[in-house]
Amino acid sequence: MALPELPMSPTKIGKIITEQLCLEKPLSARRVNETLVKNGLQIAERVTNAKGKTKLQYTLTEKGERYGQLQIDTAQSSTKTVYVVRWFESVISLIIDEFKD
Protein backbone atom coordinates (compact mmCIF):
# COMPACT_ATOMS: atom_id res chain seq x y z
CA MET A 1 0.00 0.00 0.00
CA ALA A 2 1.39 3.40 -0.99
CA LEU A 3 1.78 6.04 1.66
CA PRO A 4 -0.24 9.23 1.10
CA GLU A 5 1.73 12.29 0.01
CA LEU A 6 2.52 14.72 2.80
CA PRO A 7 1.57 18.26 1.81
CA MET A 8 4.37 20.83 1.95
CA SER A 9 4.89 24.56 1.96
CA PRO A 10 6.10 26.67 -0.98
CA THR A 11 9.37 27.09 0.96
CA LYS A 12 9.92 23.31 0.95
CA ILE A 13 8.99 23.09 -2.75
CA GLY A 14 11.56 25.81 -3.46
CA LYS A 15 14.25 23.81 -1.64
CA ILE A 16 13.42 20.64 -3.58
CA ILE A 17 13.47 22.40 -6.97
CA THR A 18 16.73 24.19 -6.04
CA GLU A 19 18.34 20.80 -5.30
CA GLN A 20 16.92 19.08 -8.39
CA LEU A 21 18.08 21.85 -10.75
CA CYS A 22 21.36 22.53 -8.87
CA LEU A 23 20.52 26.24 -8.73
CA GLU A 24 23.05 28.65 -7.22
CA LYS A 25 20.48 30.55 -5.17
CA PRO A 26 17.58 28.93 -3.32
CA LEU A 27 14.11 29.64 -4.69
CA SER A 28 12.02 31.80 -2.37
CA ALA A 29 8.50 30.93 -1.27
CA ARG A 30 7.38 34.16 -2.98
CA ARG A 31 8.77 33.02 -6.34
CA VAL A 32 7.18 29.57 -5.96
CA ASN A 33 3.83 31.16 -5.05
CA GLU A 34 4.02 33.50 -8.05
CA THR A 35 4.67 30.51 -10.31
CA LEU A 36 1.74 28.59 -8.80
CA VAL A 37 -0.50 31.61 -9.52
CA LYS A 38 0.89 31.98 -13.06
CA ASN A 39 0.11 28.31 -13.75
CA GLY A 40 -3.49 28.66 -12.54
CA LEU A 41 -3.09 26.51 -9.43
CA GLN A 42 -3.90 29.21 -6.88
CA ILE A 43 -5.20 32.76 -6.64
CA ALA A 44 -3.50 35.52 -4.66
CA GLU A 45 -5.72 38.02 -2.85
CA ARG A 46 -4.63 41.02 -0.79
CA VAL A 47 -6.23 41.02 2.66
CA THR A 48 -5.96 43.57 5.45
CA ASN A 49 -5.82 42.46 9.07
CA ALA A 50 -7.29 44.25 12.09
CA LYS A 51 -4.11 46.32 12.48
CA GLY A 52 -4.35 47.57 8.89
CA LYS A 53 -1.45 45.49 7.63
CA THR A 54 -1.89 44.06 4.13
CA LYS A 55 -0.65 40.63 3.06
CA LEU A 56 -1.26 38.08 0.35
CA GLN A 57 -3.61 35.20 1.03
CA TYR A 58 -3.73 32.26 -1.35
CA THR A 59 -6.65 30.05 -2.29
CA LEU A 60 -6.68 26.97 -4.49
CA THR A 61 -8.24 27.01 -7.93
CA GLU A 62 -10.20 24.03 -9.20
CA LYS A 63 -7.06 22.90 -11.06
CA GLY A 64 -4.96 23.40 -7.92
CA GLU A 65 -7.21 21.17 -5.80
CA ARG A 66 -5.67 18.14 -7.54
CA TYR A 67 -2.19 19.14 -6.34
CA GLY A 68 -2.78 20.79 -2.97
CA GLN A 69 -5.09 21.26 -0.04
CA LEU A 70 -6.05 23.82 2.57
CA GLN A 71 -4.76 23.14 6.06
CA ILE A 72 -5.58 24.74 9.37
CA ASP A 73 -2.62 26.49 10.98
CA THR A 74 -1.94 29.04 13.71
CA ALA A 75 -1.08 32.59 12.68
CA GLN A 76 2.53 33.58 13.36
CA SER A 77 1.65 36.73 15.25
CA SER A 78 -1.22 35.41 17.37
CA THR A 79 -3.14 32.32 18.37
CA LYS A 80 -5.67 32.96 15.61
CA THR A 81 -6.52 30.01 13.36
CA VAL A 82 -5.79 30.52 9.67
CA TYR A 83 -6.01 28.41 6.53
CA VAL A 84 -2.87 27.88 4.44
CA VAL A 85 -2.33 26.14 1.11
CA ARG A 86 -0.03 23.14 1.20
CA TRP A 87 1.11 21.27 -1.89
CA PHE A 88 1.70 17.66 -2.81
CA GLU A 89 5.05 16.74 -4.36
CA SER A 90 3.28 16.01 -7.65
CA VAL A 91 2.95 19.79 -8.25
CA ILE A 92 6.72 20.06 -8.74
CA SER A 93 6.60 18.36 -12.14
CA LEU A 94 4.07 20.98 -13.30
CA ILE A 95 6.17 24.02 -12.39
CA ILE A 96 9.83 22.94 -12.44
CA ASP A 97 10.36 23.99 -16.08
CA GLU A 98 9.59 27.60 -15.07
CA PHE A 99 12.85 27.68 -13.10
CA LYS A 100 15.18 26.25 -15.75
CA ASP A 101 17.43 28.85 -17.36
> 38-66, pLDDT tens digit by residue?
999 999 999 887 788 898 999 999 999 99
Inter-residue contact 74 to 81 (CB < 8 Å): yes
pLDDT at residue 4 greater than cutoff 70: no
Identity at 40, one-letter amino acid code: G
Residue 46, pLDDT score: 93
Q: Could you tell me which of 38, 93, 28, 83 has the C-alpha nearest to residue 61? A: 38
Q: Nearest 5°: phi and psi at 75?
A: -60, 145
